[in-house]
Structure formats: C-alpha cells, structure tokens
Structure 1
Amino acid sequence: MDLSGRVAIVTGAGGGLGKAHAKLLAKRGAQVVVNDMSEAAEAVAAEIVAEGGQAIAARGSVSDVDAVQAMTQQALTAWGRIDILVNNAGILRDKSFAKMSIDDFRLVVDVHLMGAAICTKAVWDVMREQNYGRVVMTTSSAGLYGNFGQANYGAAKMALVGLMNTLAIEGAKNNIRVNCLAPTAATQMLEGLLPAGQLELLKPDAVSPGLLALVREDAPTKTILATGAGAFEVAYVTLTQGAQIGFGDDAPEKLVARWDEVADRSQEHVPTEAFAQARLELAKAGYKFES
C-alpha cells in the first residue's frame, strides 16, 4: 500500500494509537501532520523525520475551531492538499452515570464528537475540490455495545458512527470515503484494567494496519472495522424484517405478543440509507413502490 504523495492529518498523535497511525502512514510514504495538544506533537514529527519520513507538528485542541483551521492551512501551505484525516483525538472522564457531572459528559462529547466534526468540516471542501478524500472516525465497542462507567464516552463514540453514515453518503460523488475504526489497544485508557500479557498483545501498532485498509486508494466506505491484537472484524447496524402490526387500539398488545417475530434476526439486513426503514415499513403496510 503505497501512500506516496498523499497528505494525512492525524489528531491526538502525540502517543498511543495516534502516534502508531502517524508513523505507519509516514512509513508508507504519506506526508503527515502530527496533531496533539502538547509538545509530544513535535517529538513524534521529529521521530518520523529522523526515520526518513515527512512530517510537521500542529499543536492545538480539536475542539478549537481556530486551531483546526490553522492546522488545515499549515498542511495546505506545506504540501498543497489534504487526502487523509484520521480523527483519533479523545479523552476519558469515566464514572457511573449516577456520579457523572453534566460538565464531564459535555466535555467528552465535545472532544470526541465535536472535535471530529470540526476537523472534518475544515478539510471537507478541500477534499471535495480535489475529488479525493479518506476520513476515519475512531469509534469504540463502548459505543457500539456499551460499557459500565462510560455513558459520555459511549454516547460520543456511537454518535461518530452516525456522522460517518451520513458523510459517506454525502461524500460519495466526490470520491470521499468515510469509515470508522473501533480499536482495542493498550493505551493509557486501558492501564490497570488488563494483565500485562494481554496488554502486550493489544499494542497500538497492531491496530494501525486496519487504519491503512480504510484510507487506501480502493478503500471501502461506511464501514466499521474493529481490530485489536492482530485480529479484525466488521461491525454492522442491522434491521430485522419485523412484522406488520397495524394501528388498532390493541397494537401495543399485538406487538408484545409477536415480539419474537419482530426481533427475529434470521433475515436481518444492513440498510444503505435512512429511507430503507420507511420503505420496509410502508411495503409491509401494503404500499406498492414503483420499480
């Protein structure tokens, strides 16, 4: 996978997953903007350059619109284009929902969701004009399936799936492909939660090959790729075939009585867009769509 001539921005790349992503992108030929809030951005960029790659540092928060605009301009000034955006930056404020403050909920959503939206918005027109773009959101099993103590983090991570779904549709005509990466990696976020042997297998470097698969020339779009310890899976949001219940006063009781049929997964499918649900429901109600 040769990324020579491609320009990539990786947020939160001062360490952990972001650093692993940035280094692998550079190793495969990409010119990389290393973003972080700390001086670690400069250190990672210098490390990439020392290893023969091309990189510049951009310090700033992804939730700061002005800082993100400056980062985007920095990339364009240096290399004239932006091909890849990896929305990796994030924070944790873990507590049970009963003990979590709204400020901590809002802060996590602001960094993960709004940060990704701000960064993507900053490069979107550039990618549209050049008719090429690869955007990766970093989601999580905490959002896809839930995790105790992470209501804020899980909500933000699942929201990124929704953002991906719509941007993949809107970007298709300009060859902008948008995907999600759901990593399991031994970063600071997992310290103390798993034994040393498992943490060694879950090294961040094992996740980054999945990132490359999502930003390559013939990358998929609207895909949730899960990865950790060298294993890879694809997660889906599916819809069952369900059942037509009707409108009567006894519809709630009928629904409960036929719950197993409604929830039956034997013929579930992955809708391509939002209207697929309405189309299925209207067809069950007897509406005939023109072919």
Structure 2
Amino acid sequence: MKKLTEEQFNRAVDFVMTHARPVDQHLFNYYFNSGSKSKVLDSLTHFQNDDGGMGYGLEPDVRSPQSSPIATTIAMQYVRQVKASWRHPLVKKCMKYFTNTYKEHNNWPLTLQHMNDYPHAEWWHYSTFDETFSINPGVEIIGYYHAYPQSIPENLFPLFHDFIFQHIENKPAGIEFHELLCYTRLVEEMPDPGKSIINDYLRNTCRKIVTKDPKKWGGYCAKPIVLAPTPTSPLANVLDDVIQLNLDYEIDNQQIDGSWLPHWTWGQYQDTWENEASVEWQGYITVKTLITLQSYGRIEAF
C-alpha cells in the first residue's frame, strides 16, 4: 500500500506552517499535535460578524466581509471537525444567524447581492434571488440543527424535515456533486430512522456522481476522497475501490513545495485569485488531504 513518506509529510507541514491561514494551521495541530480545539474556534471568530454569520473570505472564493450562509457553513464544518460544544459563543451565534436568515428569506440563499461588491469567483456572482428551498446549502444547515437541537424553534424543525424527504420521495433524475456533499454532512449529524433512509438514497446515487477516472482528477470534479474523506464517512464502503486509487493519486501528485493545489481558477479578479485566494485554498486543501491520508493509514509517520 502506497504511503506518504516522512519527507513528503514534513514538506507538507512546512508549507502549512509557512503559508496556511491560522485557522488551518490550528486545525492541523488539532489532528496531528494534540492541539487545542479552542485555538481553532478562536481563529474562526476573526471571520464572524455581529449578526453571527461569517464573511471576510472564510470561503476563499467569496471575499465579501459581510455574512453569507455559505461562509457560515464553512465555519460550521470546522466546528464539527473539532466537536465544539453548544456552549461555545461562536456556535450559538452561527446558529442564530441561520435561524434569522431563514426567518428573513424563507430560505438560505446561496448567493447574496453584496458578494458582487468584492472580488469573487464567477460562480458566486449574484443575479436574482431564489425563494425556493435549495439543497445547497439548506440540507447541510439542517444537519447543524441536528447537531445543536437547542438552537432551533420547534415550529421550524418539521418544516425543515419536509424539505429533505419531499426531495428524496420525488426521486429527481439526479443531484449534483455539491448537493451530495450537503447530504453527507446532514447524515453525519441526524439520528435514525431518517439517517438510514437518506443513507440508502445516497448509496444508490453516489456511484453516478463520483468521478472514477484518475485522468480527470487533475481538474475540478467529484473526487472519491472528497465524498468520503475518512473511513467512517457515510459513503466510504460504497466507494472503497476508487478511494484507494484516489489516495495513491494524491500521494503521487503532491507539489514540490509540499502542498496540494486547487484545480480551478476564478475567471476574473486574477490578482486577488493569484495572490490571496489560491494560496488560502492551498493551505486548506493541504490540511484536508493530510487528515484524509492519516485517517486511511496512508502516512508513514503515523
């Protein structure tokens, strides 16, 4: 079985500690050096606004300082990785933001008008407001209400579940990559029997969505390890054959500087992309890749 060598690992660590954002450095330390979860959470507070939502480029492709549901879901992914308590003020503020945003819009908008006022990737450009429930990021956000049930008004919980199961019952022709990711984050938080129902749905769907061809992994696609970043991920067993190939691929495609690269560009605001966002993504992706390699037993040093 191919493993990341100690020399490769040390190069990755050097890149993270030199170039990654503090939040990603602290997440690395949490996983590899018995680091403190409080440092991860404290570093997230620098991205949090008074309304509880996140901005300031926490999602590196959205540079607006103002809050958005998508940036706040990124924060909650860090929160859940370190298993933060409901008692932490950052968690309470994020969840309050989700509730207030839903009450204002009857939805969690994927894009907001203020995103256009700052450098951003072309796919984050706001055009029109959609009032209908969106799987991305709505399904993921409902998962966080399962993780922190103290945060949700009782009258909204049944409505949120209706959104999820009505979509599954309608059995659409297919969901796309990001929607599948939102569902995987939901099922990691919710209990049975709903968990099993959705898991069955995802298992029947994921083989159609995952990119199986290694020749395509150098571009933006549904990589197996993104859909199942750890052996305990909901889809890990279903995708095991392609996951093992993907792990080999990542080990072979580490950059000389120790990092792993984003496989996309913005198509606009090139200076901001090259000098800010792409480097932030390198740090983020490098930490995520190391965590995944470690969880599958693919680093020699561990």
Class of the TM-score when normalised by the shorter of the 2 chains: under 0.3
Report the TM-score, using the length of structure 2 for normalisation.
Answer: 0.27
Report the TM-score, using the length of structure 1 for normalisation.
Answer: 0.28
Bigger radius of gyration: 1
Structure with more of its chain in strand, by fraction? 1
